[in-house]
């Protein structure tokens, strides 16, 4: 029982930590709607091992590969139009 409560609390903490994420970029900050993406895919689609900040963070190359890679594969989400990600922080 104690263990179950612990697991539930951890999940709530993880989920609230992971609500919103703004990536800083000189050509326009990117508002990543983490909770929306979480609802669409299992954590393991993007996180290897336990869900947490990416080791070493995301640079341009890694981010474009991850984000644009999946959008292209799924046929959904921004792919070619930079401004749908860069500078989208005030939209939505």
Q: CA–CA separation, 44 vs 47, rounded Å?
A: 5
Note whether 86 and 25 are within 8 A (CB).
yes
Residues 49, 13, 21, 33, Cα dihedral to 10°? 90
Q: List binders of ligand HEC among 22-61 (CB under 6 A).
A: 23-27, 30, 32-34, 36-38, 40-41, 43, 45-47, 51-54, 57-60
Contacting residues toward ligand HEC, per CB under 6 A: 14, 17-18, 21, 23-27, 30, 32-34, 36-38, 40-41, 43, 45-47, 51-54, 57-60, 63-64, 66-68, 70-71, 74, 76-79, 82, 84-86, 88
């Amino acid at each position: 029982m104690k263990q179950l409560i612990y697991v539930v609390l951890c999940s709530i903490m993880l989920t609230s930590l992971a609500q919103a994420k703004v990536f800083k970029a000189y050509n326009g900050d990117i508002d990543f709607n983490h909770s929306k993406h979480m609802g669409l895919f299992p954590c393991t689609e993007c996180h290897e091992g336990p869900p947490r900040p990416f080791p070493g963070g995301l640079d341009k190359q890694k981010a474009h590969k991850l984000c644009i890679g999946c959008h292209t594969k799924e046929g959904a989400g921004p792919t070619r139009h930079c401004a749908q990600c860069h500078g989208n922080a005030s939209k939505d």
